């Protein structure tokens, strides 16, 4: 049965999944790049960026599992673009160039319509204006029995958590402090929502927590 998953979502020790002042130069906000130090060091991510080498071990295992059995993705607008409001410049095609790492359908939540965008190697961005539930319905249909990965950001993940639509959530807690930004835990009671910790694995670079809906 298809599951809805959050994978490799990095947060700071103080709970922030992104810093303030997101920009083209700092896609994750001020200081946000440090959240993903554990992932960038892995062999999996180095290969994704066209490089050789990289670390193996637990961090790499979690990075690899994040792409296993994924049939489609859902992203918030901020995960696709630093801009807000109407799509005034449709030449922007995402942070990843002509060949994004998804290789499947990606459903982007937005309040402003935009034509479907086909990229290389099977990645197609669909811009969904009807809300997060419609986006998930379309993603599940597209996934064809495989899992749907909710890619973030924080507000997008929280929408699905509040509706108990996420089956499993892997959080990587990085040893950095941001002080401000978007807090993943803000306003949520994970226990009341029915989520339990089923795995807890510390490494030199992060602490991996897996939550599962009971």
Residue 117's pLDDT is what?
97
Alpha helices in the chain (DSSP H): 37-40, 43-48, 58-65, 132-143, 154-162
Residue 24's pLDDT is what?
77
Half-sphere exposure of 24 (CA within 13 A, CB side): 3
What is d(CA 74, CA 183) in angstroms, rounded to the nearest whole number? 19
What is the set of domains in the chain, with CATH numbers?
4-19+26-83+98-208 (3.40.430.10)
pLDDT digits (tens, 9 = 90+) for 63-112: 999 999 999 999 999 899 988 899 988 888 988 889 999 999 999 999 99
Q: What's the token pair of residue 131?
A: 């809300």
Closest C-alpha to 179, from 24, 31, 36: 31
Ranges of residues in the chain whose predicted pLDDT is under 70 = none
pTM: 0.94
DSSP 8-state symbol, 12: -
């Amino acid at each position: 049965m298809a599951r809805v998953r959050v994978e490799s979502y990095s947060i700071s020790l103080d709970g922030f999944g992104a810093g303030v002042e997101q920009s083209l130069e700092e896609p994750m906000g001020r200081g946000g790049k440090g959240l993903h130090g554990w992932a960038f060091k892995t062999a999996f991510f180095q290969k994704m960026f066209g490089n050789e080498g990289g670390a193996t071990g637990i961090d790499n295992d979690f990075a690899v599992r994040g792409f296993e059995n994924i049939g489609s993705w859902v992203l918030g607008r901020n995960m696709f673009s630093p801009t807000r409001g109407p799509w005034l410049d449709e030449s922007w095609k995402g942070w990843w160039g002509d060949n994004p790492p998804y290789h499947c359908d990606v459903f982007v939540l937005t309040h402003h319509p935009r034509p479907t965008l086909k990229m290389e190697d099977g990645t197609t961005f669909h811009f969904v204006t009807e809300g997060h539930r419609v986006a998930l319905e379309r993603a599940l249909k597209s996934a064809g029995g495989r899992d749907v990965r909710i890619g973030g950001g924080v507000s997008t993940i929280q929408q699905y958590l509040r509706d108990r639509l996420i089956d499993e959530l892997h959080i990587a807690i990085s040893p950095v402090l941001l002080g401000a930004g978007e807090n993943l835990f803000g306003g949520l009671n994970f226990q009341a929502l029915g989520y339990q910790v089923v795995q807890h694995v510390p490494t030199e670079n992060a602490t991996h927590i897996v939550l599962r809906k009971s």
